[in-house]
Chains A and B, each alone.
Chain A
């Protein structure tokens, strides 16, 4: 109930607060954002479940409409990954599929008018509920750092421990001992920058988008012509947001593929 808030700032801060549970002593290790996790699980199950259903009933004969759609998505992702990594895609392509589907589903929640969810959750006695997991930095960083782990893993796998460490010290400037420290510094910054930028980009886009919806919701509370304007502007922003939803999912997918493909390259 938007009108039940004391002040605009309370409205905003309420909508930006996750439903938390704490275990043990709480703090960093004991706190979980329950809404983000529940939404992620539901969206992951729905998103990949649809693909799993298609995989269960797959036929190499004439495909139905649903299988046709799933195959279009699959081939699109496979081709995108093939462009950045021409080698064995048996792991990288499903990874890209997972990222694309999960991020897309999470972003898609942004199109549900925020106060619908908040009002419903209030009615069943839940105090806070952020329905877009990708506006939670924990979620985006969880994915980007998983990708980071994979970058490290594939670097070791492709070059061996010696090769990877050798590369850390000798690329990009050269193997002169004087350049070892600058090389290492550059490489560490580069390695860390990848997951951080990946997670921050998605989070920033979705968080900003959510914030604009909230401000438009606030405008709607003023009543009269402001409410009408709020509805029109929210609609316009939602239409524009469709683009962002797909684009951010695509960017996250492509950049993850590029980073992991780069991990295979020898310098």
Chain B
């Protein structure tokens, strides 16, 4: 139990171990830990930045989406307007065409009517002449009485 020179030998060994730990063990290990801590901190900061960028992008996306939707709405509206205009134009043209056709038909009908009337008139004139011939029992010179017949026709 008594103290002896082991004390000094052991102290030298202990001092050597302390030097070894301070020179060869502690710095590399602690550097690695610090470096990793820094890496983690950087990574977290990057993640935070990424998150902010994502939020910003999300916001931009919403704005762009709204713009696109508005533009699409406008285009749709314009299209609808144009379509309506085309329909209206087509309708107007159709109406004009119809009116024209109707007018033409009317004109034709009037012409036919006129023609029929002319014919009728001529027939009536001929009938009247025939009637008058029979009444007068004599032949009326159609040529001589053409004026009179024409007058008669006009009165009908």
A interface list, Cβ under 8 A from B: 16, 18, 20, 27-33, 36-37, 40-41, 44, 48, 51-52, 54-56, 58-61, 63, 70-71, 74-75, 78, 90-91, 93-95, 97-98, 101-102, 133, 136-139, 141-143, 145-146
Contacts and interface: CB of A to CB of B under 8 A. Distances in A.
Contact of A32 (B4, B25, B39): B4
Nearest to A41: B13
Contact of B15 (A33, A138, A146): A146
23 contacts: A18-B6, A28-B5, A37-B9, A44-B13, A44-B17, A51-B25, A52-B24, A55-B24, A55-B25, A60-B35, A75-B33, A93-B26, A95-B22, A97-B21, A98-B17, A98-B18, A98-B21, A137-B1, A141-B7, A142-B6, A142-B9, A142-B10, A146-B18
B40 to A, nearest CB: 10
Interface of B: 1, 3-11, 13-15, 17-18, 20-22, 24-33, 35-36, 39
Contacts of A71: 29, 32-33
Given A28-B3, A55-B24, A74-B29, A36 B10 contact: yes
A71 B36 CA distance: 11
Given A98-B17, A141-B3, A58 B9 contact: no
Nearest to B8: A142
B17 to A, nearest CB: 5
B14 A102 contact: yes
A16 B1 CA distance: 8
Given A94-B21, A97-B21, A37 B33 contact: no
A33 B25 contact: no
Given A36-B6, A55-B24, A58-B28, 6 more contacts: A28-B4, A40-B13, A139-B10, A141-B7, A142-B7, A146-B14
B30 A29 contact: no
B39 A95 contact: no
Contacts, number: 125
A142 B20 CA distance: 17
Contact of B7 (A48, A54, A63, A138): A138
Interface centre among A31, A145, A146 (most CB of B within 10 A): A146
A56 B31 CA distance: 12
A30 B5 contact: yes
Contacts of B18: 94-95, 98, 146
B91 to A, nearest CB: 77
A154 B2 CA distance: 30
B145 to A, nearest CB: 135
A54 B33 CA distance: 12
B48 to A, nearest CB: 21
B11 A145 contact: yes
A99 to B, nearest CB: 8
Interface centre among A91, A95, A142 (most CB of B within 10 A): A142
A86 B12 CA distance: 28
Contacts of A101: 21
Contacts of B22: 90-91, 94-95
B4 A138 contact: yes
Contacts of A136: 6
Nearest to B39: A60
Interface centre among A37, A55, A75 (most CB of B within 10 A): A55
Contacts of B9: 32, 37, 142
Nearest to A17: B1
Contacts of B20: 48, 52, 98
B32 A58 contact: yes
Contacts of A145: 7, 11
Nearest to B23: A94
Contacts of B33: 60, 71, 74-75
Contacts of A44: 13, 17
